[in-house]
Structure 1
Amino acid sequence: MDTSVQRPAPPPPAAAPRNPRRWRRLLLKTGIGFIALSLLPVALFRFVPPPVTLTMLFDSRGMTKDWMSLSEIDPDMARAAIAAEDGKFCSHHGFDALAIAKAMRHNASGGKIRGGSTISQQTAKNVFLWQGGGFVRKGLEAWFTVLIEMLWGKRRIMEVYLNVAETGIGTYGANAGAMRYFGHDASRLTRTEAARIAAILPLPKKRGAIAPKGFTRRYGNSIAARIGVVQREGLDACLR
């Protein structure tokens, strides 16, 4: 007969206590690293033209681009961009709250999705990020928009925008677009030519600036008329 006393099994080892300081340090280091990594290209592109963007790299049609400084581009091209894309470009700090709210109300009602992005937001997306939606990309877009507004200023933002925006299939920038559609560079665009390039910016793969028809033609004519308004009312004053 076994009279030995069975001892109870030892309790499992206690879980290691959490170290909140360790997690805080990790989060702090991650945040500092992200800020440093994002500041570096923004500071660099303040002075150096972005050599390529993700949109260009993943364009199956290749890419044609030809950088031209803002001082060389015909002023009506920037005015056309303001007239078409962002009438408050010179007065906002990167975001147009009214345009965003209006776009949200429109999209909530159904129908064709409409954006409320400023030229600053579009530049941040085009240079540093990828096309498409999603909260992560929109959040990063907002962050880079703040940075370029702080470090670049309006003239540089417009200069980069007019050189990286897609202006046709495999074509990037106003200068390459002018060469493609009109056979001359962007330094001597007519008001109509500048307006037609601006008219195709939202859908550069589907719209053409040569003999446009239907909506594209009407939209281009409307932009051409508003170029004069932009000039008279000083809506491009920050670029002068």
Structure 2
Amino acid sequence: MAENSDIGDEDEGTERAPRRFAGLARRIALVVLALLVLPYALILLYRSEFIHPVSTLMLADLATFKGYDRQWVEFEEISPHLVRAVMMSEDGQFCSHTGVDWEQMKGVVDDALAGEATRGASTIPMQTVKNLYLWNSRSMIRKGLELPLAIFADIVWPKRRTMEIYLNIAEWGPGIYGIEAAARYHFKTSAAKLTPNQAALLAVSLPNPIERVAGKPGKGMKRLAAVVDRRAKRSGAYITCLYD
């Protein structure tokens, strides 16, 4: 009788193992699903202008006890010179696309398939959702998550709100986030009082603000800023979604 009891215990333990594994798999699936859905819920929440979102880099700085400098400013308190410069440097078709510039994206895919070096095709909505919810890398996984988030954000947020969030979470130096902190750190002025030249220098530093220091530009950076400044001054037809 004792032997039969042992066999029964073994059978019951064998049956429990798959059930435990299935339960664990369900819990993991629910966690993954929640993580995928959360950014979309936050996009809806962030439509409210009184909410001031933070980026994943800002959270990382907090988690590692580095801290950061960011003072939120409303869109109306940001120099139009800066808005125009950033738009013409980062995403000239910002007012006309729906979160993703498919023409630019097609060019990147064609270059990749041809084995050529690819160029950046990230729009401001794409960069904004990446900064808010994702991580820095060139992985296809990140890009696959980024595209639908950018499209959804473009549907939910007015263009001015997208630009406002982007300019308030963009990194402009070690621990320097947002245009107000950047203007004060690099030029000892406010976001509202940036000159065209200062705005252009800040705009061209965005792709790599650690190496491209807006307040201490080299000759190459000054040349790029001059090009962006000229484009910004001729940007009237491109910025109708931001300024009447």
Match of 2:15 in 1: none
1:224 maps to which residue? 229
Q: Once the 2 structures are TM-superposed, how far is the Cα of residue 150 of structure 1 from its aligned partner?
A: 1.0
Which of residues 218, 222, 240 in structure 2 aligns to 1:237? 240
Note closer, same or farther for the CA distance 1:212–1:44 as it changes in structure 2 (3 Å cut).
same
Question: Hey, what does 1:39 align to over in structure 2?
Answer: 40
Question: For the Cα contact (< 8 Å) 1:95–1:121, is it kept in 2?
Answer: yes
Partner of 2:108: 103
Quickly say closer, same or farther: Cα 1:115–1:190, change in 2 above 3 A: same
Distance across 1 between alignment mates of 2:203 and 2:37: 35
TM-score after normalising by structure 2: 0.78
Deviations 1:99-149 (A, max 9, x none): 2233344455445x5211101100110111111132221121112112211
Q: Which runs of 5+ in 1 are unaligned?
A: 1-25
Cα 1:102/1:39, change in 2 over 3 Å: closer
Any unmatched runs of 5+ in structure 2?
Answer: 1-25
Structure 1 runs (4+) deviating above 6 angstroms are 29-32
Q: Distance in 1 between matches of 2:156 and 2:88?
A: 24
Is structure 2 residue 197 aligned with structure 1 residue 192?
Answer: yes
Aligned-pair Cα RMSD in Å: 2.2
Q: Tell me, in whole angstroms, the C-alpha distance in 1 between the residues paired with 2:227 and 2:164.
A: 23
Structure 2 counterpart of 1:7? none
Tell me which residue corresponds to 1:170.
175
Aligned to 2:16: none
The CA deviation at 1:237 is: 0.7
Identify the match of residue 58 of structure 2 among 48, 53, 56. Answer: 56
Which among 141, 147, 171 is matched to residue 146 of structure 2? Answer: 141
Q: Name the structure where helix makes up a greater proportion of residues.
A: 2
The structure having more radius of gyration, on CA atoms, is 1
SS of the residue corresponding to residue 171 of structure 1 reads: coil
- What is the CA–CA distance in structure 1 between the aligned matches of 2:187 and 2:110, rounded to whole Å? 38
- Could you tell which deviates more after superposition, 135-144 or 171-180? 135-144
Task: Report the Cα distance in structure 2 between the residues aligned to 1:104 and 1:217, rounded to whole angstroms.
Answer: 31
